[in-house]
Amino acid sequence: MIDEVVLNFNPASLIVLNVILAVVMFGVALDLRVDDFKRVISEPKSVALGLLSQLVLLPALTWGLVLVIEPQPSVALGMILVAACPGGNMSNFFTHFARGNTGLSISMTTLVTSVAVFTTPFNFGFWAGLYPPTARLLREVELNVLELGLVLFLLLALPLALGMTLRHKKPELADRIVPYFRHGSLGVFALFIVLALLANWEFFKRFIGMIFVLVFVHNAVALLTGFIVARVGKLSSEDRRALTIETGIQNSGLALVLIFTFFQGLGGMAIIAAWWGVWHLIAGLSLSGYWRRVHPERVN
């Protein structure tokens, strides 16, 4: 039973994963400028709809999906945690590749990541607490929301602040090192996830059929949520692309760190987050590749 599976992951590996994720966020921040925050003021409607889509509707719809499908409690908890995490940093690349509003995408990623110290614990605790099976799991592990917030601060907010400070103080240095951080850290992170999957291949192989379907449906719901919100909000096609991708590309790497930190690698949660990390890249690349071939003005 997947709820009883605990993945192989030692404390030293967790420290390495924490460091890698912090370095990834530092590398992302090296490419951010004050102008990225100014877009929040210049494009308030698009940003507001993006926040609604990612921080409110996605967690709520994930809870609704859990009620309908009724997966195993640990799987449901993993789905809710992924939905509560900020957007993944690959969303900016996919938006650019899709000929979307890259500036809006960067602004959204930065803003949502900055407030994740507060929004991720709230959304996770609130929606998981409304579903009795996941609420029981939360009580069993005695999740400390303040401790969760501190981990998020160290992994997200602090590297973000340090990276942006270096960009502001030493722009030439930032320009020189950002390619190494951007490609190197993401490559190391991807390799780490692959090695973790190989170390737990028997568990993964046993449950991949069920997990594949759940992640496919969940990710489709996320992408559709962003697209419908932007469409109803009558945003431009470039903004629609940005919001769709921002809502559908989640920081599953952060979810994995939290799972191994607070839930000791609980099987259903970890496998959901790990496969999300693989699938949303496939879905994001496929969607952005399609949009790249369709000029934005032709999208209604």
Check: CB of residue 94 under 8 Å from CB of residue 249: yes
Instruction: Give residue 146's pLDDT.
Output: 76
Q: Compute and round to an integer the Cα radius of gyration of the chain.
A: 18
pLDDT at 5: 52
Q: Which CATH architecture has domain 2-298?
A: Up-down Bundle (1.20)
Pick the closest to residue 33 from 168, 135, 125 (CA basis). 168
What are the 10-residue block averages of pLDDT along the chain, 300 residues in total? Answer: 56 70 78 67 85 96 95 92 87 85 83 88 92 86 74 82 85 83 70 70 74 93 96 92 94 84 78 85 90 68
Distance CA 13, CA 62 (A): 30
pTM, rounded to two decimals:
0.83
Q: How far apart are the first and last CA of the chain?
A: 46
Give the residue carrying structure tokens 């989640």.
250
Beta-bridge partner residues of 6: 266
What is the reported pLDDT for 104?
Answer: 85
H-helix segments, 30-88: 34-42, 44-51, 58-69, 73-84
Contact 95, 242 (CB under 8 A): yes
d(CA 96, CA 94): 5
CA distances 221 to 41, 58, 74, 120, 145, Å, are 29, 8, 20, 19, 27
Q: 230 to each of 107, 185, 195, 234, 290, how far by Cα in Å?
A: 16, 32, 38, 6, 18
